[in-house]
Structure 1
């Protein structure tokens, strides 16, 4: 798989909720800090969105607003400083239902929120801005369709709904990441910057394609069609890591995923990501994941996290 597919495949969306918002007149809604990722699609009217301590941004019908960092935000019909507590407004609304403000009719938005688990979740979400705006285009249409399907599955549970919601959440996450990469807004430091930088992306793809290989910086530089020095400097500038540090982190995230979801032994998990020595693997795993592999497995068993 390509690197973005690799990363998203290790994420496990769960606990999805979806609801609509129908408003009229002058309105303002304050959303508290939240866990997970929120995705909203505007179907009618316009509004302003202001993430905590940031300038408000105007949204129009056809736009999607993605909030991956969980920061508080204000949604309003015009720029304002405060609003009604969203928890009170949405309290009586069942999954897939619609909250109504002022009788509704002027503005309509549909949205979903889901949690992400899996070893790469914190790394990926930490590399994203607090707000991503998806303007009208192919990605927006897919985001909007996916939000509608999520709401429908939650509103009308049927056999297979749980699996459908999981897959739809994956599609939603993928489309958001695609749009963010295509916009050029991922040009910063981190994972997504690595995927969008044409000078190092071929090397990143090679590492994701064969993480167990004993890559050298020279081999990766050759794949990227650069000198070893130029490649190493560029890679650190874009990712904040050396190529080998990036490779090691990706290996440990893959191993952690295997250890969290299966009964594979630590020795086998080490071998799968290119480590012949279990002790060397243990040192690298603890450095990246914050605990030794066996402690990680014990914590998994204690919490029953073998999804």
Structure 2
């Protein structure tokens, strides 16, 4: 059985790589931050950030690479995620967010920490009370692909990816260093990287994040462009805690139950409710690994009335109870 699994995993990764390779992305590294404990800041509102970083774009993807130290990030939903050295934080819809360190601190507006454009060089923020330092490298990308459509919300508002030790982790570090060095001002209020490194970085991080998405042969990305499946996926992804039934999902998609079931099986290789369970487990793993939420709270977030029912479902999916799975994850 193990001999069969390795080629299957390799095929899935290859298919996912091909699907992601069709994404069209443009962007740059735009900021370095050196934050000393204690520190915390609040980002610009999305529209203001767009006006500064990508004038004319309708939406933007933000990412932060933790070069050293440790930091938390949270969006409006209040879920706090932690990231450590080498981790990459992605905000696929460029949502407003807060970031901070390991010690309590008052949150200041990032606009108070950085000069307003035009810039003569890449901004560097140095802020904090002089304690342990966390280095962040921040970038943005723009894309009109449905994967980054905030109305669909195919991805969580923020997620943290920890590249595995070895070549992948070293590539991320080297790529960020190189991209930051290559980024140049092309106008008084805009920077661009003359290399595709930021794009390649995000594609690699998405591949790592989506490797556990519940769909055979990663038909998931194709499904985002499907007029029948996209509304049903938006409903599930937007409210994984909802008590979804096949009928309710069909109503959300404005199609018959039979058509929805048929299309799910055709494109995703799964029945709708089986996909829903897989997606809930995907979300739960992310929350267990990077958030401070308790198991009972995560259970409610992903649609289970009791911690016991969630634990049984999670163990069926992963082979481990949620608390055991969380304890086995490397610390952020």
TM-score computed with the length of structure 1 as normaliser = 0.53
Paired with 2:105 and 2:128, the residues of 1 have a C-alpha distance of 19
Contact 2:38 2:105 in 1 (8 A): no
Paired with 1:14 and 1:201, the residues of 2 have a C-alpha distance of 27
**Distance change >3 Å, CA 170–CA 236, structure 1 → 2:** farther
Can you list the C-alpha shifts for 1:190-212, whole angstroms capped at 9, x where unaligned?
A: xxx43xxxxx328x49x99xxxx
**What's 1:18 paired with?**
30
**Distance change >3 Å, CA 95–CA 56, structure 1 → 2:** farther
**What's 1:235 paired with?**
270
- How big is the shift at 1:136? 4.6
Paired with 2:79 and 2:41, the residues of 1 have a C-alpha distance of 16
Paired with 2:125 and 2:45, the residues of 1 have a C-alpha distance of 19
Paired with 1:127 and 1:47, the residues of 2 have a C-alpha distance of 25
- How big is the shift at 1:57? 2.4
What value does the CA root-mean-square deviation take over the aligned residues?
Answer: 3.9
Paired with 2:81 and 2:95, the residues of 1 have a C-alpha distance of 15
**Distance change >3 Å, CA 81–CA 130, structure 1 → 2:** farther
- How big is the shift at 1:22? 0.6
- How big is the shift at 1:180? 0.3
Paired with 2:121 and 2:23, the residues of 1 have a C-alpha distance of 23
**What's 2:73 paired with?**
49
- How big is the shift at 1:230? 10
Q: What residue ranges of structure 2 are gaps of 5+ in the alignment? A: 1-12, 47-58, 224-261, 277-332
**What's 2:217 paired with?**
201
**What's 2:156 paired with?**
129
Paired with 2:17 and 2:152, the residues of 1 have a C-alpha distance of 15
- How big is the shift at 1:27? 1.0
Aligned counterparts, 1:29-68, within 5 A: 29-34=41-46, 35-68=59-92
**Distance change >3 Å, CA 84–CA 9, structure 1 → 2:** same
Comparing both chains, which one has the higher relative contact order based on Cα–Cα distances under 8 Å and sequence gaps of 6 or more? Answer: 2
Task: Give SS of 1:126's match.
Answer: coil
- How big is the shift at 1:21? 0.3
Paired with 2:68 and 2:157, the residues of 1 have a C-alpha distance of 24
Contact 2:139 2:198 in 1 (8 A): no
- How big is the shift at 1:143? 2.9
Paired with 1:235 and 1:142, the residues of 2 have a C-alpha distance of 34
Can you list the C-alpha shifts for 1:130-189, whole angstroms capped at 9, x where unaligned?
A: 1221225244433333322221111488xxx96743x2232112111111023x2x3xxx
**What's 1:181 paired with?**
210
Paired with 1:103 and 1:54, the residues of 2 have a C-alpha distance of 25
Contact 1:46 1:60 in 2 (8 A): yes
**Distance change >3 Å, CA 82–CA 70, structure 1 → 2:** farther
Paired with 1:49 and 1:152, the residues of 2 have a C-alpha distance of 26
